[in-house]
Structure 1
Amino acid sequence: MGWRFRVSCPRAWPPGRTLTSSDTTTLGNCTGTPRGRYGCRGTRRSGRKGPPRRHPDWFRSFAKAEAEAVALHYYEVQAVPGLLQTRAYAQSLFEHSRPMLNEETIDKRVADRISRQVLFDRWPIPTISFVLEAAVLLRPFGGPKVHREQLLRILEVAQRRTVELQILPQEGTEHPYLGGPFTLLTPKGRREVAYTEIYGHARLITDPEEVRHYSERYGILRSQALTKQESLDWIEKRLGER
């Protein structure tokens, strides 16, 4: 059963609906208020004046839902999750992305990404966990200095009692899911959903059976990963090698 929307949105969100920048109904504009019942307000019409919006169109919906969620679980295989990135690391990613972005866009996207990290200071803080493939932390985006700063930032966040972070070592001989990164998100008063994105295309998965598959995968990934303390030790060891 999908979420219900108001205004110009369809009555129910189709399970597995793909979100793109051309969509007028995206997750990020969902309010979660009793009146809105996760009502989707739609995106701003072209030519209409108003304050500049944060984040690219295809990501804006998720950023809003992320800020209001009661539980967030991230599995990452490519780069450090945005919530953990340093400014220099994020800058490097955007500077080298293709097609190339202009300086104004880079500066804005870096600032928007860093602004999401206020989530860690929210109280009550949502349940937050990360499972990171070891390769994510071994890849020195931005060079040695930026890489070291990024590892220190991850170490600092992971040491908080409100955050669970685990590393999936490369030595593993089995793996439950090779389909790419994903996020499990629980909106307040709603059932858990799954979120994936690739090449600027976002997909919100609300079908209970498909979400269950992602939840099972995440559970197995956590069981195969290092414990929180082992993960902290792993990062400290890499810092000592640099």
Structure 2
Amino acid sequence: MVKTKNPAYRSFGQAVRRWREAAGMTQIELAKAAQTSQSQVSSIETGEKGTSADHIRRIDNALTAGGALVRRWDELDDHSRGLASWFLDVVTVERESSEIRVYQPLSIPGLLQTQKYARAITQHGHPELTRSQLDERVSARADRQAILDDPDGPMVRVVLEEHVLRRPVGSYEIMREQLVRLTDVSRSSRLSLQVVPMTTAQHPGSDGAFHIFTVPGKAPMAYTETRRHGNADEDPEAVEDYMAVFAELRGVALPPHASRDLMYKIQQEFSHE
């Protein structure tokens, strides 16, 4: 199961709390001094989420830690930055998988996003993020895509909705670049990309997005997430159910070559906008 707290964040959070208590400050006082929120301080201290380097510098200054917290933050695994702590275990599973199945009805999956698309959709969904936080999230998402270039990486099967391809996230230019990216990666022998047409009447994917991970030597895992939480399910019956839904989705989707033709067609339409 996906853990709700990552050990690296939890350990870092404990260090922040020790410095705060040594300074005789409450979470509210620290939040005010560091120009952040009490909920943010609490989340950092409990290891429920990471933060940005800018936040850490301000907290370090507020606690007169002399750079100790900044150095400790810098020592964290680069792959941990920009990712919610509940997602970190999923990224590990992603790297260990031999096959990944993805159904995404609302956006381009993170593994296939261009940096401009990732920035636009993240900024729209989280307008409260600072520039450094946004940079870290986009960078973390790009780092995940290394598995697509790894010759020993997983087979990735993706099913998307046509309306996702037609929504001009950020701008028509950003979306056109994203469609070029999708068209290119869809030619990979280790990536299957299929699109469900908007005219599909009987749709098996009404319950929302999900991933299915197949890891050698381990039980398959189904994964779903909300805006703030992730849920992994290794129950054989649940995983079998998701696999059946994914098979049905592939059945109503266009074949890979027809999906690529549709993506190219939409790309050309955007070129005239």
Q: What is the TM-score of this pair, normalised by structure 1?
A: 0.81
Return the match for 1:147 from 164, 171, 175: 175
Q: Which structure exhibits the higher relative contact order, with contacts defined as CA atoms closer than 8 Å and separated by 6 or more residues?
A: 1
1:47 aligns with 2:75: no
Q: CA deviation at 1:121?
A: 1.3
1:75 aligns with 2:103: yes
Distance 1:96 1:175 in 2: 28
1:216 aligns with 2:183: no
What aligned pairs does 1:163-242 form with structure 2 within 5 A after superposition? 163-242=191-270
More helix, by proportion: 2
Q: CA deviation at 1:177?
A: 2.9
Distance 1:86 1:103 in 2: 18
TM-superposition CA deviations, 1:142-193 (whole Å, max 9, x none): 1011010000001110011111000011111101231110000012211211
SS in 1 for 2:163: helix
TM-superposition CA deviations, 1:35-82 (whole Å, max 9, x none): xxxxxx675321343523331212111111101111100000111000
SS in 1 for 2:217: coil
Residue 121 of structure 1 corresponds to: 149
Residue 157 of structure 1 corresponds to: 185
Gaps of 5+ in 1: 1-12, 14-18, 27-40
Distance 2:118 2:126 in 1: 14
SS in 2 for 1:100: coil
C-alpha contact (below 8 Å) 2:165/2:266 kept by paired residues: no
Distance 2:181 2:130 in 1: 27
SS in 2 for 1:226: coil
Q: CA deviation at 1:126?
A: 1.2
Q: What is the TM-score of this pair, normalised by structure 2?
A: 0.72
Distance 2:187 2:236 in 1: 33
The one-letter amino acid paired with 2:172 is P
Q: CA deviation at 1:224?
A: 0.8
Q: Which has the larger radius of gyration?
A: 2
Count of residues in Structure 1 that have an aligned counterpart in Structure 2: 208
Coordinate RMSD, CA, aligned: 1.7
SS in 2 for 1:74: strand
Identity %: 32
